Amino acid sequence: MENRRVAVIGGGLGALSGAIRLAQFGFSVQLFEKNPKIGGKVNEVMLDGYRFDTGASLLTMPFVIDELFDVAGFKRSDYLDFVPIDPICRYFFPDGSVMDASADQEKMKTAIAQLSPSDVEGYERFLKYAERIHELTAEIFMFTPIHEFRKLMRPRYLRTLFRLHHIDPFRTVHERVSRFFSDPRLVQLFDRYATYNGSDPFQAPATLNIIPYVEYGLGGFYIKGGIYRLVDALETVARERGVQIQTSAKVERICHHRNRRVTGVQVNGETIDADYVLCGADAVVAYHKLIDGHQHQRKKLNRLEPSLSGMVFLWGVKGKHPALAHHNIVFSGDYRTEFRQIFEHQQVPDDPTIYIAITSKTDTAHAPTGAENWFVLLNMPYLVPGQVWEQEKNRIRRVVLDKLKRLGFDIADRIAVERVYTPEDFSELYASNKGSIYGVSSNSKTTAFKRLPNRSRLLKGLYFAGGSVHPGGGIPLVMLSGKMAATLIAEDRASRNFYSKAEK
Ligand SMILES: Cc1cc2nc3c(=O)[nH]c(=O)nc-3n(C[C@H](O)[C@H](O)[C@H](O)COP(=O)(O)OP(=O)(O)OC[C@H]3O[C@@H](n4cnc5c(N)ncnc54)[C@H](O)[C@@H]3O)c2cc1C
């Protein structure tokens, strides 16, 4: 069979999803991951009896995973148990008030009424508005490779493109949210969703208000046993389907002919021949480090603004904290200043918003008896020269612990185990562009189109999946990017084989 060898770079969820589909289409697939374990930003760590997910903690759009299992001929429920999380998140506001957000609409309205009765009606209108954006954009922006001109030529897509103003790209997330809610706490809560793809609510287009609909309209989930179980399950499916997975295998180069068609990859000094390369590593980094030449393209890519980075503290904490839920947010006192410091000045925010996920609330085995596993995430700027993360680490740790103490969680002397990840670690561990955790930010009206396509324009046979390319970061979206890339490869192969037969 011709044109059936694919080399896949990276074991992140985008690449893994693409690899499974390609194997199912009949390709011979070899996947190379530089780290000892696959999963990329979805990963897991054990420290002295405490278990932690090190990256993603909330799952949305689980139907994307179901569909992949179906396509591969497996039943997802045999492998993974999706647990709806209620409350989805407990919010601690700067004035001391607390609110439980829920995908159960009655509970959510009651919680809003307790905070600000006059905003209940605004919430109902907001959710309808967000649902409308979802209706108009999901198919075209989330499920279609929008850089493929021929795929956009469907009448219903063209209708959406001509009605772009309905998807609200000309205001920012914050401007639009402020029109629905009068209470600043609710504005802060709904502004937060821009960070789900690593963006700034004061710059990102209001189209991103689709995200609260995805969470409140469709639900937020945890995976029993930890989010990393998803990687385990996909690895099983991939191997069953014949994908060859090699870990501790760093791809050093994407090889190509003078005619600009890829010929394979170089891994640990060895050349692996391939008809196609599916790159699940960050595309900006790949163009800089894995592909020779193309200076002009690199300059263009340097102009794409990376998404937020982050700082993570994994803390095994002695004692139980019933006042905390599975997911918690302790907001900063001034969101605008926080994001200005992060995106305009590339500084560590003075007063960071603190996210705490505690899976032992749901999976008690994740921490020893009488203890909890805290995953603490702060929004941080992407890497720029001059930052000194090694020194900042201890200062930020102090800021976080002091803030938590003021809230009644005095844990400084009860941290039994600890691990810290800085933006430098994200860059090093996952080869992400400047330590970004969601690829490219959506801080401009046109990012959806500027984000890199799933098919390379420079090298024939090179395709991309993952958070740095269309449709963007987050578990479901990177898995959809894998689907798009795999489908494009299959289509290319069908047309190449058709033409080569016709020539014979
Ligand atoms: C702290 C944190 C919290 C998050 N929270 C959430 C959340 O709650 N919900 C959600 O949906 N998403 C969340 N995300 C985002 C989500 O995890 C990512 O968008 C997604 O996992 C990225 O997948 P990817 O396909 O882009 O691959 P990545 O995860 O970026 O993996 C790329 C892989 O490629 C490998 N690689 C790179 N270069 C090479 C090379 N040259 N050779 C071989 N291998 C290479 C890397 O080692 C890595 O394993 C979070 C991310 C982080 C970091």
- Mind listing the pLDDT tens digit for each residue in 158-184? 777 777 777 888 899 999 999 999 999
- Is a pLDDT exceeding 80 seen at residue 498? no
Mean pLDDT of 100-122: 98
Mean pLDDT of 245-267: 96
Mean pLDDT is lowest, of 158-162, 208-212, 297-301, for 158-162
CA 430 / ligand 1 centre spacing (Å):
7
Does the Cβ of 437 fall within 6 Å of ligand 1? Answer: yes
Mean pLDDT of 408-428: 98
Does the Cβ of 146 fall within 6 Å of ligand 1? Answer: no
Any idea where the domains of the chain sit in the sequence?
Answer: 1-39+227-304+450-504, 103-218, 309-435
CA 401 / ligand 1 centre spacing (Å):
27
Mean pLDDT of 407-424: 98
CA 58 / ligand 1 centre spacing (Å):
14
**Predicted confidence band of residue 479 (pLDDT cuts 50, 70, 90):** very high
Q: 323 with 306: CB under 8 angstroms? A: no
**What is the three-class DSSP state of 443?**
coil
68-92 pLDDT, tens digit per residue, is 999 999 999 999 999 999 999 999 9
1-39+227-304+450-504 carries CATH number 3.30.2310.20: no
Nearest ligand 1 atom, CA 249: 43
Q: How far apart (Å, rounded) are the C-alpha atoms in residues 216 and 131? A: 10
Q: How far apart (Å, rounded) are the C-alpha atoms in residues 151 and 163? A: 18
Mean pLDDT, rounded, of the chain? 94
Query: If you take atom 37 of ligand 1, which residue's CA is the nearest one?
Result: 281
Does the Cβ of 53 fall within 6 Å of ligand 1? Answer: no
Alpha-helical runs (H) found in 369-474? 389-406, 423-430, 447-450
Mean pLDDT is lowest, of 2-6, 154-158, 219-223, 468-472, for 154-158
pLDDT, position 141? 80
CA 12 / ligand 1 centre spacing (Å):
5
12-53 pLDDT, tens digit per residue, is 999 999 999 999 999 999 999 999 999 999 999 999 999 999
Residue 192 backbone phi and psi in degrees, to 5: -55, -25
pLDDT, position 146? 79
pLDDT, position 144? 83
**What is the three-class DSSP state of 142?**
helix
What does pTM read for this prediction? 0.96
Please give the full DSSP string across 5-45, using - where no structure is assigned: EEEEE--SHHHHHHHHHHHHTT-EEEEE-SSSSS-TTS-EE
* Nearest partner of 484 among 66, 206, 251, 147, judged by Cα: 147
Query: If you take atom 10 of ligand 1, which residue's CA is the nearest one?
Result: 474
pLDDT, position 51? 98
pLDDT, position 142? 85
Does the Cβ of 284 fall within 6 Å of ligand 1? Answer: no
Does the Cβ of 310 fall within 6 Å of ligand 1? Answer: yes
- Is a pLDDT exceeding 70 seen at residue 502? no
Does the Cβ of 312 fall within 6 Å of ligand 1? Answer: yes
Mean pLDDT of 465-474: 95
312-362 pLDDT, tens digit per residue, is 999 999 999 999 999 999 999 999 999 999 999 999 999 999 999 999 999
Q: Name the residue of 8, 13, 38, 41 to mutate for ligand 1: max ligand atoms within 8 A of Cβ.
A: 41
Does the Cβ of 431 fall within 6 Å of ligand 1? Answer: yes
